[in-house]
Amino acid sequence: MLDVVRESQLPVLAVMLLLGAAAKLADRSPRGQGPAVLLPVRWRRVATPVQGTAEAVIALALIGAAGAVGGAARIAAAVLFAGGVAALAALRRTAPETGCGCFGGLSTTPVDWRSIARSALLGAAALATVGLPTTAVGVVSGATPGHAAVIAVEALLIGALSPELVELARRATRRVPCAVREVPVKRTLSRLRASDVWRANTAVVTRAEPVDVWRQGCWRFALFTGHRNGRVVDVVFGVPLEGRHPAVRAVITAPDTGAVLSVLGGPADTGRRGGAGGSGVKVSLPSDGWQVGGTRKQGRGTAADSQVPTST
């Protein structure tokens, strides 16, 4: 029975390490997570993905490597989790409000005894596998009811020590409002370029990339330079941040005054002139100007209350 318990640790360790690695490599926090905050500032951003990569390599070795390589991976896993216990204990003393970072952005709960106990448990599990001739794949392929029972009990224990499960449940039941939801700029620009308004008015836009991008609530706005009726203009596109097929909206404004010159709802140069009412979406242009291509432009404030019309 003791061998069954020891063997069952291999797939448990492999799964935990792979989940931790995936979460860390997917994390985009510029300041790092968990124990990374204990490092000098210049190292924090790279510490999390480096740790995630190391965990992935160890997990793959536990899954399929036997012999000396497999033995080294098990010792490395034990050292990793032992170091985690020490780092989390230090983190709890020096930055008690910080999450453990064990599973990237999911590990936001301040470090407590559960996270430390989980690392200690997994470290002991890794030590227990040293000297076994099999691999995680071998254990799974030849699993007995005894293996299944041990893994089930251990999964319940690890779950009880994992505050991340509470965070997962919270996120599943409470959707993040679009006004504060993180949406990559790249995704917004892809949605813009796939819209009918963009395709119908590419003749107006003279630069492929926006000179400014900003966000207002559930909208992201992109400012492009353009040319229309023999004059230089600014083209402002408004892209909703939610919805499967949202309507992209746009206006042409004068660079010097910020006044709305035309609505982009169809082919270029056929928009309606005058004010753009009816949509209720504001284009907020800072009254003190902003940096565009290294040159500070002024006189944008008059467009602060411009309405962005719905595309047709």
Same domain, 102 and 49: yes
> Is the Cβ–Cβ distance between 150 and 102 less than 8 Å?
no
Same domain, 168 and 105: yes
DSSP labels, 135-156 = -HHHHHHT--HHHHHHHHHHHH
Given pLDDT bands bounded at 50, 70 and 90, which one contains residue 79?
Answer: very high
Cα separation of 54 and 77, whole Å?
10
Same domain, 22 and 115: yes
Average per-residue pLDDT for the chain: 80
How many independent structural domains does the chain possess? 2
Same domain, 156 and 189: no
Instruction: Look at residue 178 and tell me if it is in a domain.
Output: no
Q: What is the pLDDT of residues 160-178, one digit of tens each?
A: 999 899 888 887 777 777 7
Same domain, 58 and 103: yes
Same domain, 261 and 297: yes
Instruction: Look at residue 39 and tell me if it is in a domain.
Output: yes
pTM equals: 0.59
Same domain, 195 and 169: no
State the residue range of the domain holding 60. Answer: 2-173
Same domain, 99 and 26: yes
Same domain, 19 and 166: yes
**pLDDT score at 279:** 35
Same domain, 159 and 39: yes
- Secondary structure (3-state) at 101: coil
Same domain, 128 and 27: yes
Instruction: Look at residue 179 and tell me if it is in a domain.
Output: no
Give the domain-ending residue among 124, 149, 173. 173
Instruction: Look at residue 297 and tell me if it is in a domain.
Output: yes
**pLDDT score at 40:** 80
Instruction: Look at residue 45 and tell me if it is in a domain.
Output: yes
pLDDT of 30 above 70: no
Cα separation of 158 and 19, whole Å?
13
Give the domain-ending residue among 151, 173, 195. 173
Instruction: Look at residue 138 and tell me if it is in a domain.
Output: yes
Give the domain-ending residue among 108, 141, 173. 173
pLDDT of 282 above 70: no
Instruction: Look at residue 180 and tell me if it is in a domain.
Output: no
180 — phi, psi (to 5°)? Answer: -120, 0
Instruction: Look at residue 98 and tell me if it is in a domain.
Output: yes
Same domain, 168 and 233: no
DSSP 96: T
Q: What is the pLDDT of residues 38-71, one digit of tens each?
A: 788 778 778 888 999 999 999 999 999 989 999 9
